[in-house]
Amino acid sequence: MKWFLILWGGPILLLGSWYGLSYYDLSFGFFMLTRETHDLVFQIYSGILGIPADDLPPLVARAIVVDSLILFAIVAFRRRKAIAAWWQRRQEARSCELAASEESLSRAP
pLDDT tens across 9-58, in order?
A: 999 999 999 999 999 989 898 888 999 999 999 999 999 999 999 999 99
| Total residue count of the chain as it appears in this document | 109
H helix runs in 1-79, sequence order: 2-23, 35-49, 56-78
Amino acid code (one letter) for 12: I
- In this model, does residue 61 exceed pLDDT 70? yes
Which pTM was predicted?
0.69
The Cα–Cα gap between 69 and 63 comes to 10
Percent of the chain with pLDDT over 90: 50
Write down the domain spans for the chain.
2-78, 80-109
- Give dist(CA 67, CA 44) in Å, integer: 23
